[in-house]
A and B are shown apart, each in its own frame.
Chain A
C-alpha cells in the first residue's frame, strides 16, 4: 500500500516542504493534532452540560476534530485531499467502534464472573442448593458429553461428505449437495433444536428430553461447518500427490486415506476444532431438547441433562432466592464458556501451526 496520506514530513514538523518536488500544500501533523485537541476540549465542555462523561467527551472530540480537520484541509489542500482525510478517519473510527463492544463485553463478563470462579464452582452441582454455593459440575460434564457426541456424529459424516465432494462427486448430485450444505449452514440454531425435538417426539412422545437429542440438534449445526472447512482443505492438496500415488499402483481409497488426508490433517484438525468451538456455546437448541436438571446425569440416553450454556441462561433468568447468588453463577458460567471457546480457538491455531507442511530445510 502506498503511504501517501501520511500527513506532513515526519520529524521535521514545520510547514515548509523539505523535498524539492512537493508542489501541494499539506496540513502539518501538529496542526491536525491541535485541531483534534481543540475538538476534545470543546467536547469536554459540551459533555459537561449534560453531566460530564469520558465516553461523550471522546465521541464529541472525534466528531468535532474530524470536522475541523476536514474544513481546514479543504481550504489548504483542496476538496479531494480533504475527502480522503475524512474517509480515513471514518474508516479508522469504524474499527474503533467495533472494539467498544468487544472490550466492554470482555470487561463485563470478567467483572461479574471472576467472583465465583472458585473450586466449588467446578466441584459441585446444583443438587439441593438454594441460595449460596453450588456450581456447574453437572453442566460442565453435560457440555463435554453432548459436545463429544455431537462431534462423534458430525465429524465422520462431515468428513466423508467433504471427501465425496472433492474426490468422488460429479454432476447433479455434487451440485445438489454443495448447495444444500450451504443452505444447512444457514439453519437457525433454534430450528435445528425443533427438528431434533420433532424427530424424537414422533417416537417417544412430546415430553421427551434427552442428552442425545441435544447432540442430534447440534450435529445438524456442526456438520455443514465441518463439510465446508474440510472441503476447502482437501481441495488444497495438490493433484500431483494423488497422481504420484496412483502411478505407484495405489488404489484410490488408499490414496485418500494415506496420502490426501495425512497431507491435509492440520487443516482438517483446525476446521474441526473451530466447528466444535462454534457449537459448544449453542444454547437455543439445547433449551428445547435436553431440558434442565440440578443434579448430575451422565447418561445421554436417559433423562434430562444440563449444559453450561443452558445452566448459565437459567441461572440468569430463574436465579432463585435471593437472586444474587444465581446471577453470580450465571456470569461465572458465561466466563467459563468464553474461556472454553477462546481456548478452542487457540488450540485450532496451534494445530494448524504444528501440522503445517514441513520442509525440513
Chain B
C-alpha cells in the first residue's frame, strides 16, 4: 500500500514570503527518505506541504505539483482532509491528546473520522498499532491511563502508533527524535526500519548519523543566502551523499564546514 511521491516545481509561500523554491523530487515507495539541511531552510515547510498540513497556517499556500501514485494532491477537487488520512505525520514534540487514555489515543484517528468498529476490532487495532510502534509490552497493562503520563520517548512512540493506526500510505516525520534520549532514539530508528516494509517514510533530521543509519535516499536543502528561499540542492542515494556528493555545498555541510 505504500506509494511513490513525485514533486515538481514546488514553491512554498507564507503569505508573500517565498520560503522554499523549485523543489523537484521523486520519493520511492517502501523506503526511508531523509531530509537534511541547516535550520530555516524549509525542511519542515516542505514536509508539511506533502500532506497539505502547510495550508493550516493562515496565509500559507503552495504552487506546483505533488503527485501521489498519479493523483495530484493539490488538484481542484481534492479534499485536504482525505489527503491527510492517506499521509500521516509525526511531529517533533510528542503530542498525545491529553484528555484521552493510551487506548483512546491510538484509536483517535479511526474514531474521530467517524469509523464505527466493534470493541473486539478496536482492541485488535490497538494491539496491532502498539506492537507496530514497539510500545505494546510497555503499556499493555495500563491502556486506560492518560497518554500524557508516559515518558517522552514512549509518548513519541504512542504518536507513531496513533499515526499508523489509520493505516496511511505514507508517514512523514519531522525531527521525531530531537526531543528524545539516545535509547529512545534507537528504539524509534529500529521502528522506522520495520515500518518501511509497509510505508513510504520521509523523515526530517538534524542528526547526520541518523540519516546515514536509516535512510535509502537523502535530500539536502540549503539557503542560497539571507532572505533567499530554500532550495533542494541535492537528492541522491544516502550512500552517495555521505561518501561522494555531487555538490560542494553538500559536502561542506556534511563535513561540518558549513558557513
Contacts and interface: CB of A to CB of B under 8 A. Distances in A.
A151 B215 CA distance: 57
Contacts of A245: 97, 108, 112
A240 interface: yes
Interface in A74-89: none
B99 A238 contact: no
A358 B91 contact: no
B82 A357 contact: no
B162 interface: yes
Nearest to B149: A360
B226 interface: no
Nearest to A245: B112
B135 interface: no
A247 B145 contact: no
Given A243-B53, A358-B146, A358-B148, A249 B85 contact: yes
Contacts of B163: 247-248
Interface string B108-128: 110011100000000000000
Contacts of A201: none
B99 A263 contact: yes
A250 B99 contact: no
Interface in A208-226: none
B56 interface: yes
A352 B117 CA distance: 33
B40 interface: no
Interface string B80-110: 0111111011010101011100000000110
Interface residues of A, number: 26
6 contacts: A238-B95, A240-B91, A243-B89, A247-B89, A250-B81, A361-B149
Given A170-B58, A358-B146, A358-B148, A247 B97 contact: no
Interface in A318-361: 357-361
Given A241-B97, A357-B99, A359-B149, A246 B159 contact: no
B113 A249 contact: yes
A247 B51 CA distance: 8
B166 interface: yes
A210 B40 CA distance: 63
Nearest to B83: A249
A262 B108 CA distance: 13
A243 B56 contact: yes
A246 B54 CA distance: 11
B166 A248 contact: yes
Given A170-B58, A249-B113, A250-B112, A244 B148 contact: no
Contacts of A246: 53, 56, 81, 84
Contact of A263 (B51, B56, B88, B97): B97
Interface string B139-181: 0000001101100000000010011001000000000000000
Contacts of A359: 146, 148-149
Given A240-B95, A244-B95, A248-B113, A357 B148 contact: yes
Nearest to B166: A248
Contact of A259 (B53, B97, B148): B97
B109 A249 contact: yes
